[in-house]
Structure formats: C-alpha cells, structure tokens
C-alpha cells in the first residue's frame, strides 16, 4: 500500500465558487464523507480513514491533528496515526451518528447522553474547549460505545452552547415516552438551519 502522504497527494479538487468537486483519488480510497472543509476516505483493507482538507482550509489539518494528539489514549476519541500539511489519518469508526439515529429511529438513551457528557468533560480536563458539537460528529458504535470526531474547534476560546442545547432538547422533548424517535432527514436539516439562524425561540 502507498504511504499516507502519497494517498493524500492522489486526491485532487476543483473549486467552482463556493462548491468543491472531487476530481481524482487513489483506488485504495473510498469516499465516505464530505464536510464544509474536507473529504473523508476509508482506506481500503484497513480500519483507518484519511481526511483531506481542500483550499482554503488546509491549515485545519495540523490544528485538528494537535488536538487528537492531546486526546491520545482517550477511549471516546479516535487515535491519530499520521498528519501532513493538508491531511490526517485516524481510526475508522463504524456506527451511527446521532443524526443517523434520528433518521433511522434508533433510540438514544439517557446513559449515552451521560457518556457524551463524560467524553466532553475529559477533553476539558486536557485544557480543551469542546465546540461545534452537533448530531453528525457524535457516533454510537455497534457495541454501544460513544465516539466523538471532528475536534478541530476544541481549542477555540468562544463559549459554544450547541451541546447544552442538544441536551436541553433531549430532556424537554425527545426523552418523553410518546415523543417520536424517528424524523425525516429533511425536517432535521430544516431544524438545524433554523437553529443556526437563531430562529427557534427556545434556543435563542
């Protein structure tokens, strides 16, 4: 297999305005995710993923790599194996994000919420400030373990209340016995949009 740096160099992009299109990649890379600043590939025949940042976000790679190194040995976060100017390599985490759970109707338990709290608390003990916590970067594995990914903003100084708001919604609505545990993806995306625009009165 090629080195991680060689695999990262095989990835090419084209930017059109605010959109980025993936042009090419090594056959050993399987695209499994696209974010605001990077593409994520599973490296075939391994349990690792390669996260490649596209312009102008390349500098995030080193910031996120440093944070993963600070969290080394913590069971709630993936291990990091390599990083470069515009990429990093971490564990592949199989499971469902909290967003997936809502779409599929998989119940999220109160114990899992407590485990997420514990994971974030342990990051704070390392001097970090867990931020940008949302439904798509918290994963529940097949053996009911909590994993948190996309930690690039864990060093920001600004207070982030997203997780507190998610917990509040869980306790006020989701945790009720008759509240539906499944929701269409379109509705969830609309709620996320309204939340970002501060258009949901309960979370202003």
% helix, strand, coil for the chain, step of 5: 35, 25, 45
| Other CB atoms within 10 A of residue 63 CB | 15
Could you tell me which of 122, 117, 91, 109 has the C-alpha nearest to residue 170?
A: 109
The structure tokens listed for 47 are 């349990």
Q: Which of 132, 144, 150, 165 is catalytic?
A: 132
Is the peptide bond between 19 and the residue preceding it cis, with omega within 30 degrees of 0? no
Tell the burial category of 197 from Cβ atoms under 10 Å away from its Cβ (0-12, 13-18, 19+): exposed
132 is catalytic: yes
* β pairing state of 80-83 and 87-91: antiparallel
The structure tokens listed for 117 are 């709290």
Catalytic annotation, residues: 132
């Amino acid at each position: 297999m090629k080195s991680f740096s060689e695999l990262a160099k095989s990835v090419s992009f084209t930017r059109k305005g605010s959109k980025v299109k993936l042009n090419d990649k090594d056959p050993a890379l399987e695209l499994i995710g696209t974010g605001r600043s990077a593409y994520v590939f599973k490296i075939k025949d391994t349990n690792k993923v390669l996260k490649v940042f596209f312009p102008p976000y390349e500098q995030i790679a080193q910031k996120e790599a440093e944070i993963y190194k600070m969290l080394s040995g913590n069971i709630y976060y993936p291990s990091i194996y390599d990083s470069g100017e515009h990429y990093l390599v971490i564990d592949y985490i199989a499971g469902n994000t909290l967003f997936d759970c809502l779409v599929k109707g998989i119940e999220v338990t109160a114990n899992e919420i407590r485990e997420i709290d514990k994971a974030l608390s342990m990051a704070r003990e390392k001097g970090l400030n867990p931020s940008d916590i949302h439904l798509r970067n918290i994963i529940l594995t097949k053996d009911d373990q909590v994993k948190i990914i996309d930690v690039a903003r864990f060093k920001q100084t600004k207070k982030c209340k997203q997780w507190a708001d998610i917990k509040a919604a869980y306790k006020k609505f989701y945790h009720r016995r008759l509240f539906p545990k499944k929701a269409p993806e379109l509705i969830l995306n609309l709620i996320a949009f309204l939340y970002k625009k501060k258009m949901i009165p309960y979370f202003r």
